[in-house]
Amino acid sequence: MQTRRSTKKTPASHAGHRPSELCLTIEDVNKEGLGIAHSHGRLVLVFDALPGERLKVRVDHFGQNRIIATTLRVLKPSKSRTSANPCPHFRSCQGCPLLSWDGSAQLDFKTDTLITALKRYPELAELTPADIWAAPQTVGYRASAKLAVSRDFGKTRIGLYRRHSHAVTDISACPVHHPLINKIVKIVQEQMDQIGVLPFNPHDGSGLLRYVLVRINPLQKKAMVTFVTAERNYRELTRLAKKLQQKAPEVVSIHQNINASSGNVILGRDTVRLMGFPDLVDQVGDVRLRLGPTSFLQVHHAQAAKIYRLVRQWSECRAGESALDLYCGVGGISLHLASVAGQVVGIEVVTEAARHAQANARLNGFDNCQFFAGDVAKLLNSNLKLPGRFGTVVLNPPRSGCDDQVLAGVAQLRPRTLIYVSCHPETLARDLAQLHKYGFQVAELQPVDMFPQTPHIETVARLVAR
């Protein structure tokens, strides 16, 4: 049957009038922590909103199907809204959507996000996660930062891209960053203006500095800084590096990474040391880790240490039994397993990370670890000389989760225990459902609040062969 097209005219408020402010009641919150409402026949997404609140909001973008807005005034607050907001960049940065939420509301939201993802799959719908592990430190916890650089009104800005734009918001006083990161960023900002080091301009190709990467050892208060530049440069960057070390002696290692690409990828292939040590030695949980300028490590050390110890506890490695750690990074989980397993094999796609993992095994006195660099799926299905049977296999993939080839390869190994460490509930649920088809069922789920003030959640799952 053909549907008659309506001849009713669209009201002027829908077609022409685009309000700069709205008064709304928040119906729900999406997985990104943005409030959901409706107005002018459109979905409205509101930054800094809690369910049930009545708000006056500023319209940042009025689109054909949706409106993007930011809270101006809270007319009727939620009981879960906190008045303590330690961030001067809160509404311009918008990197911490849950900063106005009290602690218990944040944890409930993250647990609900995980449960919602699981319920999409019938075989997972009845799973009940354990109580989420709250973070002991909810501000000042972040031990690394990747920050963009730009210039505005004759001043250097170092910070994050504003939501839905390429404009850089200064976050030199970010409350979730460790104070040493903020100190370093402020010095680099000031010295760039004084020395005349210009940020890279993607529109005309002028300038030099694209990003500043800072990694710290919170226990020893030492730092590594990497300048990502559009081309090789020695003179200007060396001056900047020397000034930085003079004003922040905590910086013990400074590198330059060259990224000449035109895309949004932060790091290029080539990294050279400008000053100081080649690596930064850190401590997470029971192991010391030597980290390079491009190494990945969880940003919240206390929570990462809990995860590493949980994986070791859940592995229940028996004497002489081997463990396989896939997407092993610099070896944080592998080295915790090395203290209880007969042998540990780690596979990591990033060559530098695999090299650091081997060095970290030596640093911690373990001679029962072996690390391979390459594509996980290909190495699993190659003639790689692996030990006989693995009692434990650990998966710790990026946000995109695991390829089915990897899951199938792991299933063929038939480990007694399979542990999946995830930073994304949706890809975790998808992969757990696939592993269920391969004969593994979830025995335990432990959510972990790795990123307080943000909607992100880490989850550790223990699976056993059926």
Catalytic residue IDs? 423
Bridge partners (DSSP) listed for residue 161: 168
* Backbone angles phi and psi of 301, in degrees to 5: -60, -40
- Which DSSP symbol is given to 145? E
| Angle between helix 425-437 and 404-413 (nearest 10) | 50
What is the token pair recorded at 410? 């792991």
CB proximity list for 115: less than 8 A, separation 6 or greater:
129
Angstrom CA distances, 109 to 35, 71, 106, 304, stand at 12, 20, 5, 21
Best CA proximity match to 351, nearest among 337, 381, 330, 326: 330
Residue type, 153: F
3-state helix, strand, coil in the chain (%, to 5): 25, 30, 40
**Residue labelled with tokens 């000042």:** 140
Rg (the chain; Cα; Å): 24
Best CA proximity match to 47, nearest among 66, 68, 61: 68
Is 84 in a helix, a strand, or coil? coil
Give CA–CA dist 241/86, Å, rounded: 31
What is the token pair recorded at 390? 């693995």
CB proximity list for 170: less than 8 A, separation 6 or greater:
89, 157, 158, 159, 189
